[in-house]
Structure 1
Amino acid sequence: MHEIGVREVVQFAGLTFNWETLCMTWLTMAIVILIAFLATRNLKMVPSGWQNVLEMIVTGLNAQIAGTMGKRGSFLAPFIISLFLFLLVSNWLGLIPTLSSPTNDLNTTLGLALLVIVMVHSLGLYMKGAHYLAHFFKPTPVFVIINAIEEIAKPITLSFRLFGNILAGEILIIILLKLMPIWMPIPSVIWLAFSIFIGGVQAFIFTMLSMAYFAGAVKEDSEES
């Protein structure tokens, strides 16, 4: 059983890498690719199995993308869907006692949050130019300070929310497995089911907040409320 918070590190080219996190991240990516392969290898008009599951996820997220980011946000659908699947598998991976979630490492969640924020501002400048920068000075120029603080806080809150919930869930599962006798599995099973639910909710929240941030960068002014 793995120890929460204990990381096996390796040194390479003067840099320190969390070996366990790297392995779990690559495992997560392999699982997502495998799911995509299983869902698309034999497409049917009436979906079943993995195709049905993936189509439900894609259809639901496409509806959210259209409603949140408008017409111009549709090109981000592959990224948003891939992000959700990666987070979902990552969050659930740590529920297996011998494995750990990549998202219980702040390096992973902060990296994903920074990726989203950098993409948001890059797309905003590319698609709206000076008009995108102007909104930081509204309703009055003095608000640029408050808006700047808000932008700095976004990746911090986005990453810590996901990291904290996943880490807490794995800690409690390990404690329950150690404290509960083998003939009393019900509390552990209940908490495991709850953790599966929380893992899905946290993946959805991170994805929805990311879409909300992207909306400000790509949504047409006429579509904004």
Structure 2
Amino acid sequence: MHEIGTHNVVNFAGFTFNMDTLQMTWLTMAIVILIAFLATRSLSLVPRGWQNLIEMLVVALLEQVDSIMGPKGRKLAPLIITLFLFILISNWLGLVPGFTSPTNDANTTFGLALMVVILLHILGVCFKGVGYLKHFFEPFVPFVIINVIEEIAKPITLAFRLFGNILAGEILIIILGLLLPIWMPIPSIVWLAFSLFVGVVQAFIFTMLSMAYLSNGIKDNHHD
């Protein structure tokens, strides 16, 4: 694993790029595509192997989509499923020696959260027309500032919840590896197993919150 605080950065055209994050992001996308390919290359009526695993995941997520987003949510199901898989693989990638999680970089988590919030308002206008924007002025026009601050807070809280949990978990794994002798691996193994669980939970939470936000843009009864 990388030492704490070290990053492979490249400066280009006045911008600084974290190459660790970029490389791991591309690797995560490749893994997600590979999983989808393995699960669908030989579909059968009786699922087995990768198909069985992915079908269980898809069914579980579709149930959540129907419950949270309603019938119209099925149109966004591919995005929701892809988002969950991407975050899950990203969270787990940093547990592999020599790799880092794209989600331990606030730029990645904030980008994902910003995508969700922007998509929310695009869907709101597409499904409900320009009248969707009136909720910014409810219950009274002076509340527009409060409502705008609330909208700004959505991607920030969504991003930093995921970023903080994944980064803290990876730092603790590195610290345990540095402090504990090689003949005492049990604490590290226990924490590694717990981190795998946390990776699932954080991917699930991010996805569920994203669905809750997006549902405001497609459901007929928009709440403030």
Q: Structure 1-normalised TM-score?
A: 0.95
Task: Tell me which stretches of 4 or more aligned residues in structure 1 moved more than 4 Å.
Answer: none
Q: Which residue of 2 aligns with 1:110?
A: 110
Assess if the C-alpha contact under 8 Å between 1:8 and 1:20 holds in 2.
yes
One-letter amino acid of the structure 1 residue matched with residue 161 of structure 2:
R
User: Aligned with 1:17: secondary structure?
Assistant: strand
User: Aligned with 2:151: secondary structure?
Assistant: helix
Q: Give unmatched runs, 5+ long, in structure 2.
A: none
Q: Which residue of 2 aligns with 1:177?
A: 177
Q: Which residue of 2 aligns with 1:202?
A: 202
Q: Which residue of 1 aligns with 2:135?
A: 135
Matched, 1:162 2:188: no
Q: Which residue of 2 aligns with 1:2?
A: 2
Aligned-pair distance for 1:9?
1.1
One-letter amino acid of the structure 1 residue matched with residue 64 of structure 2:
Q
Aligned-pair distance for 1:127?
1.4
User: Aligned with 1:175: secondary structure?
Assistant: helix
One-letter amino acid of the structure 2 residue matched with residue 207 of structure 1:
T
CA deviation vs aligned residue, 1:85-111 (integer Å, no higher than 9, x gap): 000000000001210000001110111
Q: Which residue of 1 aligns with 2:148?
A: 148
CA deviation vs aligned residue, 1:27-79 (integer Å, no higher than 9, x gap): 00011111111111111212121111111111111111111111112111111
Q: Structure 2-normalised TM-score?
A: 0.95
In structure 1, how many angstroms separate the alpha carbons of the residues matched to 2:85 and 2:199?
Answer: 11
Q: Which residue of 2 aligns with 1:101?
A: 101
User: Aligned with 2:141: secondary structure?
Assistant: coil
Q: How many residues align?
A: 223
Q: Give unmatched runs, 5+ long, in structure 1.
A: none
Aligned-pair distance for 1:14?
3.1
Assess if the C-alpha contact under 8 Å between 1:4 and 1:170 holds in 2.
no
Q: CA-atom RMSD, angstroms?
A: 1.4
Of residues 182-191 and 167-176 in structure 1, the stretch that sits farther from structure 2 once superposed is 182-191
Matched, 1:79 2:79: yes
The sequence identity of aligned pairs, in percent, is: 68
